[in-house]
Structure 1
Amino acid sequence: MNSGQPTTPAAANEEEVFNEVVGMLQAVLGDYGLDEAEITMNTRFHEDLDLESIDLVTLGGHLEARYGDTVNFAEYLAGLGLEQIISLSIGQLVEHVAACLRDSEEH
């Protein structure tokens, strides 16, 4: 029963968002044995983590559960070209999420 509101206070800075995104990736990848030490802001979803489109959908679900309507991952991806999606990095997603959170705090 997600009312569109975050279930916990929104992370305010990129380091907090990064840690939350890594946690979400661990949940998405589960048995693949994601090594946190290998995850950086430059880690790419496709090339480095081998995420497939279904994994991105699952990640989007985790983002929605955590941030509610504040962060619309599907809309973000829709605004990117195919090459941009293929080369998308954790850092780009973290920057997007942090910007959405800052924007929501200002309104």
Structure 2
Amino acid sequence: MDDPYVAELVALLGEVTGEEPAWLAAIGAHTRLDADLLLESVELIALDALVRARHGDGADLTRYVAGLSIDELVELTVGDLARHIAAHSLAAPSGAPPR
């Protein structure tokens, strides 16, 4: 995985969902949260808490998702979240050199 923010999100999704490594290995930037992962709202909230603890309140995923239309929400991908975090983060992603 080239994008360290995507890689970090995949690891955090593993923490939040408790899924096996094989399931996580199939996740990439184009993986949709709803249609592909069937991510539940409670899991998104847990993911948001982990992201905000690491990247600061500016990377607030729940606020970002709340501002999306239903069509945008259905098509929301891991890559979309990664771009949002990268644009609003106060820290480099896990395993990446500091910015």
Where on the TM-score scale, by shorter chain, does this alignment land: which range? 0.7 to 0.9
Cα distance in 2 between the residues matched to 1:74 and 1:50: 16
Question: Structure 1: 5+ residue runs without aligned partners?
Answer: 1-13, 103-107
Match of 1:25 among 1, 13, 24: 13
Provide the TM-score with structure 2 as the length reference: 0.78
Aligned partners of 2:44 and 2:62 also within 8 Å: no
User: 1:91 offset after TM fit, Å?
Assistant: 0.6
Larger Rg: 1
Correspondent of 2:88 among 86, 95, 100: 100
2:73 to 65, 85, 97: 85
> TM-score, normalization: structure 1?
0.73
Question: 2:57 & 2:40 partners in 1: Cα distance?
Answer: 23
For 2:94, the equivalent position in structure 1 comes to: none
Q: In the alignment, does 2:55 pair up with 1:59? A: no
Tell me the percent identity: 34
RMSD of aligned C-alpha atoms?
1.8
Aligned length: 88
